[in-house]
């Protein structure tokens, strides 16, 4: 099996300076790509790997005009990883409507804006391009407390599948559907180390994903090894979640197979 080789390709990673995005930037650098890490504010340090460092570009990915100008100004563009996103914990009946709308804007509308801008630049690049949407299991199951986010991520997977048909054969579009990933901000979601460990025990593989593993999957999807993969949703969730009814059931499986 050949190694993933992205030498000579240019990749844009939105939200690519910290957390999952930094892991993606490092993996693409390690595979040989030139990486532009996009965020609104410059980080203290940029992702590095393979003796090279990502470049930084300040951009509000919700601004269609700015996104179009940014992509048009790149010497070439082969890979877009739509990673920027996120949500606070906010039950659907709480907060104001605008806050929920902004969550959907960041997690669904912004990836569409970036994908459209990237496609125009990719069509001028020999070999076309690859767009990877960073999705979430929140879009495949109920997402109480983050309903707008879950709805946006469900829409993101649908968007990717549609774009894969509309933009074929020049641009491949796929979704990487994430479960829980351990980052420097995990404590905000899961608490202290005991909390993280307790959450990890709910995952069949017994741990949270590492950002580097997300990056490795992105590098694969962007490479020639995935040249016939488009319109797909790749689950990266450690086996998913154990159904709650299995722990609640009182049926004796030996007597009632």
Q: Mind telling me the catalytic residues?
A: 149
Integer CA distances (angstroms), 176 to 81, 116, 120, 235, in order = 10, 19, 22, 6
Q: What are phi and psi of 49, to 5 degrees?
A: -170, 150
**Beta-sheet pairing, 10-14 with 129-136:** unpaired
Beta pairing partners, 82: 133
DSSP calls for 206-228? SSPBPHHHHHHHHHHHHSGGGTT
Tokens 């999957």 identify what position? Answer: 217
Tokens for 183?
């980052």
Q: What are phi and psi of 25, to 5 degrees?
A: -60, -45
């Amino acid at each position: 099996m050949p190694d993933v080789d992205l030498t000579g390709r240019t990749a844009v990673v939105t939200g690519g300076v910290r957390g999952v995005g930094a892991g993606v930037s490092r993996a693409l650098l390690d595979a040989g790509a030139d990486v532009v890490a996009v965020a609104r504010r410059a980080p203290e340090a940029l992702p590095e790997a393979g003796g090279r460092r990502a470049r930084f570009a300040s951009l509000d990915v919700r601004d269609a005009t700015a996104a179009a100008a940014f992509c048009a100004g790149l010497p070439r563009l082969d890979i877009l990883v739509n990673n920027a996103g996120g949500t606070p914990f906010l039950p659907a009946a709480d907060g104001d409507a605008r806050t929920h709308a902004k969550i959907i804007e960041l997690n669904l509308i912004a990836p569409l804006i970036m994908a459209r801008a990237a496609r125009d630049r990719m069509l001028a690049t020999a070999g076309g391009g690859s767009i990877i949407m960073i999705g979430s299991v929140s879009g495949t199951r109920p997402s109480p407390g983050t309903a707008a986010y879950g709805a946006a991520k469900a829409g993101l997977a649908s968007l990717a599948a549609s774009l894969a048909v509309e933009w074929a054969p020049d641009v491949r579009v796929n979704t990487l559907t994430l479960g829980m990933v351990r980052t420097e901000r995990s404590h905000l979601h899961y608490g202290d180390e005991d909390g993280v460990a307790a959450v990890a025990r709910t995952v069949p593989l017994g741990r949270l994903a590492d950002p580097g593993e997300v990056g490795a999957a992105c590098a694969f999807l962007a490479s020639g090894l995935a040249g016939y993969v488009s319109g797909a949703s790749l689950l990266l969730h450690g086996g998913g979640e154990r159904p709650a009814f299995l722990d609640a059931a009182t049926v004796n499986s030996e007597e009632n197979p």
